[in-house]
Amino acid sequence: MNRNDPKLLEGTGRLSGKFALVTGGGSGIGRATCQVFAREGATVAVVDVNDTGAEETVQSLQKRGRFPHKSYVTDVTSAGAVSRLVESVRTDYSVVPDVILASQGVQTHTAFLDMDEETFDKIISVNLKATFLVVQAFSRLMVENKVAGGSIITMGSLRAAQVGTALNCKGRPF
């Protein structure tokens, strides 16, 4: 299918009746993916630490799913917060998500040689630990509820992968 095809803008309905949960949905890749999921017919739970961003995403979504879209303000680097998210989603929707997308992420513009431990820890916590916590918690939920044909997707940015590379060392030798 040609990416300029008008049908892509209308959606094909291939996620009709599905329920998707997207972390990092308040901006960037996460927001764009929420919009595609909704356009394709899914109900979307938008999860982000930024309440304004998450709500702006919800407001931008087409209303095609079987339930209303909803935002959840959650720090997914905390196991307790992720557990509360699971329970909130179960209570609000009474169904288990068919699709989980872990797309939260942070990056820094600090050169590798200038990066402090606190910045490094934040990057690891958001980009790696949070992915583990979200995928583990929702995998358990999907298995417990015998979700058939579910999908778990993890996504990152190439820009985030540049942190710590020689390209980000201001030309200094190692």
Q: What is the pLDDT of residues 9-25, one digit of tens each?
A: 678 889 999 999 999 99
Determine the residue type at 141: L
With cut-offs at 50, 70 and 90, classify the pLDDT of residue 117. very high
Q: Report the distance separating Cα 150 and Cα 66, nearest Å.
A: 17
Write phi, then psi, for 25 (nearest 5 degrees): -80, 0
Taking the model in full, what pTM does it have? 0.86
For position 37, what pLDDT does the model report? Answer: 96
Q: Report the distance separating Cα 87 and Cα 91, nearest Å.
A: 6
In the predicted structure, residue 148 carries a pLDDT above the cut 60: yes
3-state secondary structure of 79: helix
Is pLDDT larger for residue 161 or for residue 82?
82
- Give the C-alpha distances (Å, rounded to integers) separating 166 from 10, 106, 114, 149, 162: 43, 19, 13, 41, 8
